[in-house]
A = this chain, B = another copy of it.
Amino acid sequence: MSKQEAGENHHGLAPWCEECPLRRLDLFEDFSPSELGFMQGFKIAHRVAQAGATLMKEGSADGHLYTLFTGWAFRYKLLPDGRRQILNVLLPGDTIGLDAVIGDPPYYSVQAATDISYCVLDAIRKLPVLFRDHPSLALKLTRIALRERQGIDRRLTLTGRCAAEERIASFMLDAYDRLAARGLVRDHSFLLPMTQNQLADALGLNIIHLNRMLRRLRECGLLLIQDREARLLDLEQLRRLAPIHGGLTHRRPLL
């Protein structure tokens, strides 16, 4: 696994917060002008990184907070013997490295699944000011943390109590819903830039078993994965199969 560097990018495509296209999505909550003004000073860089790059590594904090702007990433935990659990998948608008709020170094790592771009927020210097002078943003931050907890709770329930096919169906519907809210779904299909190895680590399954279950779902006409693209062939049956779905439809806070 070659380590790739994250690159700085101050020019060109990095938008000002006021014109951030993410904020225009219905998915995210509105911002007051004063909030926006603070965020503009909070943000200190816009960076890009290549697929496979490690954005954050277990045990080492850099005092920054990121907001994913384009692309996919995932947060995971490694066990000493090499086993990996992917804790959640990060999509545009998601916050990375909330633990900077605690001050403790993170107990997990974050890796880019595609080429990505992201905003860098100066957590260590600006968070105290944020909490002191912008209670509405502080509340937003807390709510982001609680949303994340909700997502992990779902994943835990799925992993602890559901069969392989149920997990896959729930995962795909979840990705479908989240991507649809970002305008990244066309005709019931979306880009799925994860290897089956990563998918398996996210679902708590063995890669070989996952592969077989994907085949079965394909043969049943529910789901097709091909060339990094997932196509949900029968949404209704998928929803019937998935024990957990929906419920994340409210507007979400965005930093």
Interface centre among A77, A143, A146 (most CB of B within 10 A): A146
Pick the residue among B80, B149, B244, B250 that contacts A79 (CB under 8 A). B244
Instruction: Mark contacts of A39-79 with chain B using CB atoms, 8 A cut-off: 1 yes-contact digit, 0 otherwise.
Output: 00000000000000000000000000000000000000101
A119-169: which residues lie under 8 A (CB-CB) from chain B?
A: 128, 131-132, 135-136, 138-139, 141-143, 145-150, 152-153, 155-157, 159-162
A77-134: which residues lie under 8 A (CB-CB) from chain B?
A: 77, 79-81, 83-85, 87, 98-99, 101-102, 104, 107-108, 128, 131-132
| B153 & A102 in contact (Cβ 8 Å cutoff) | no
Q: Bound state CA distance, A159 and B77, in angstroms?
A: 13
Chain A interface helix/strand/loop/mixed: helix
| B101 & A139 in contact (Cβ 8 Å cutoff) | yes
| A157 & B79 in contact (Cβ 8 Å cutoff) | yes
Chain A: number of interface residues, binned into ranges: 35 or more
| B247 & A107 in contact (Cβ 8 Å cutoff) | yes
8 contacts between A and B (CB under 8 A): A99-B146, A101-B146, A131-B136, A135-B135, A135-B138, A142-B145, A152-B153, A155-B156
Interface residues of A (CB under 8 A from B): 77, 79-81, 83-85, 87, 98-99, 101-102, 104, 107-108, 128, 131-132, 135-136, 138-139, 141-143, 145-150, 152-153, 155-157, 159-162, 201, 203-204, 243-244, 247, 250
Given the known interface contacts A101-B143, A153-B108, the answer about A79 and B204 at a Cβ–Cβ threshold of 8 Å is no
Q: Residues of B contacting A156 with CB < 8 Å?
A: 85, 87, 152, 155-156, 159
- Nearest Cβ distance between residue A31 and chain B, in whole angstroms? 17
Closest to A99 in B: B146
Q: Residues of B contacting A201 with CB < 8 Å?
A: 160-161
Given the known interface contacts A104-B250, A135-B131, A149-B148, the answer about A160 and B204 at a Cβ–Cβ threshold of 8 Å is yes
Pick the residue among B85, B146, B159, B204 that contacts A102 (CB under 8 A). B146
Q: Bound state CA distance, A165 and B139, in angstroms?
A: 40
List of 7 A-B pairs having minimum Cβ-Cβ separation, nearest first: A160-B204, A131-B135, A85-B157, A145-B145, A83-B161, A142-B142, A85-B160
Interface centre among A159, A160, A203 (most CB of B within 10 A): A160
| B161 & A79 in contact (Cβ 8 Å cutoff) | yes
Q: Bound state CA distance, A203 and B202, in angstroms?
A: 18
Closest to A155 in B: B156
